Structure 1
Amino acid sequence: MKNTFIGVNLIPQNDEERLQKLQEFDILNTPPEGAFNHIAAMAARMFNVPIALVALVDSERVWFKANVGMEGVENVSRGISLCSLAILNDGPTVFPDAVNEPCLLANPLVTGNFGLRFYAGAPLRTAEGYNLGTLCIVDKQPREFSEADQKVLSQLAAIVMDEIELRYLRKKVVEDPVA
């Protein structure tokens, strides 16, 4: 994987266990689902941004379980996705104006035609403490993002994680109703 983030190691120390947990949820490459789409759409409207994603960070790519504003794009390389940075933190990751961030100066989403300027992502954190991905919002204009906004984004991310866990439990009951 090519890492486009200057001076940042994108691989957390617990990445092997994190990826194992992500695989356990059996959510990668699954069809769109209402709850995830609704939360992403709600985030886009609440924060008045053109793009909102439920993004899961796999070993080589970041896959979108929900996608508002980048329809038709299913995933991006882990080495260019800002969600790869966001899973390194336990709280929200915010770049009010990405072109002013030294670690993003070689990132093609920021410096290329896409023109990413604002990013905020809250981790999708399991009960065991693994950050599987993010609920993130993106804009092509710089913007401020208050602590109150960060708290709301984190709460929405917690709802996404609840949905992931409920989805897993429902599937487990269907597969093995006796357990």
Structure 2
Amino acid sequence: MMPDRHLLLTPVDKEAPARVRRLRGLGIGDRPDAALDLFADRLAELTGAPYAMVNFIDENRQFFAGLHTPEGTRPGAGLAAAAGGLGRYLARDHGYCPHVVVRRKALVLEDVCDYPRFAGNPVVDEIGIRSYLGAPLIDRTGIVLGTVCVVDVEPRRWGRAGLDTIKMLAAELVEQIHRREDGGI
């Protein structure tokens, strides 16, 4: 019997064109950003995760404008791979952030293999991701700009504390983006 392939589909993202326009207006989401790399470092530190990202998503791909990897490497803007095969770009149908963007709420996957809908995602086999914790970046216009997320190659008990932390950090980053837009930083 064939597995239920519809469970693995990346959700339809009707907001993508508006998001791309908003990100362009903010001047973010299409190149590495040192401040967002530092934010990703902080995400990793506060959650104890080996990988952390500030992720912006367009119609076709995801871009990690902020990235933390275990060795602290920061791949270039191209498809250069970091430790574990994670570079700055990821196809839109890979990973879990597109689900967070469309759902407009945080997602906790302590062991992705426990969820048939998510276990078949290419990042499990290609990169070895086993756990995920992410929250949407919803700006003052109501558009979901992207996500902040952390992942691990081992199953992980994020718990309520992890969920609260990622949601708090998402809100904090949205405020930083607003200050940047307003000329504050």
Superposition TM-score tier, normalisation by shorter sequence: 0.7 to 0.9
Identity among equivalent pairs (%): 25
Q: Which residue of the partner structure matches residue 16 of structure 2?
A: 15
Equivalent position SS for 2:183: helix
Q: Which residue of the partner structure matches residue 168 of structure 2?
A: 155
Match of 1:90 among 104, 108, 112: 104
Report the alpha carbon displacement of residue 8 of structure 1 after superposing the two structures with TM.
4.4
Report the alpha carbon displacement of residue 33 of structure 1 after superposing the two structures with TM.
2.2
Q: Which residue of the partner structure matches residue 142 of structure 1?
A: 155
Report the alpha carbon displacement of residue 9 of structure 1 after superposing the two structures with TM.
5.0
Report the alpha carbon displacement of residue 144 of structure 1 after superposing the two structures with TM.
1.3
Question: What residue ranges of structure 1 are gaps of 5+ in the alignment?
Answer: 172-179
Q: Which residue of the partner structure matches residue 82 of structure 2?
A: none
Equivalent position SS for 1:86: helix
Report the alpha carbon displacement of residue 152 of structure 1 after superposing the two structures with TM.
1.5
CA contact (8 A) 1:120 1:138 kept: yes
CA offsets, 1:119-176, max 9 Å, x none?
A: 00011111122111111000011111222321121111112112222223329xxxxx
Q: Which residue of the partner structure matches residue 33 of structure 1?
A: 34
For residues 19 and 5 of structure 1, the distance between their equivalents in structure 2, rounded to whole angstroms, comes to: 27
Equivalent position SS for 1:170: coil
CA contact (8 A) 2:60 2:92 kept: yes
Letter in 2 for 1:123: P
Q: TM-score, normalised by structure 1?
A: 0.82
Alpha carbon RMSD of aligned pairs, Å? 2.1
Superposed counterparts of 1:17-166, under 5 Å: 17-34=18-35, 36-69=36-69, 71-72=74-75, 73-110=87-124, 112-166=125-179
Change (3 A) 1:12 1:89: same
Question: What residue ranges of structure 2 are gaps of 5+ in the alignment?
Answer: 76-86
Between stretches 11-20 and 128-137, larger displacement belongs to 11-20
CA contact (8 A) 1:39 1:156 kept: no
For residues 17 and 57 of structure 1, the distance between their equivalents in structure 2, rounded to whole angstroms, comes to: 11
CA contact (8 A) 1:5 1:107 kept: no
Report the alpha carbon displacement of residue 5 of structure 1 after superposing the two structures with TM.
7.2
Equivalent position SS for 1:84: helix
Instruction: Point out 4+ residue stretches in structure 1 off by more than 6 angstroms.
Output: none
Q: Which residue of the partner structure matches residue 180 of structure 2?
A: 167
Equivalent position SS for 1:115: coil
CA offsets, 1:53-93, max 9 Å, x none?
A: 00001111110111001732111111113111111223211
For residues 167 and 6 of structure 2, the distance between their equivalents in structure 1, rounded to whole angstroms, comes to: 24
Aligned residues, how many?
A: 166
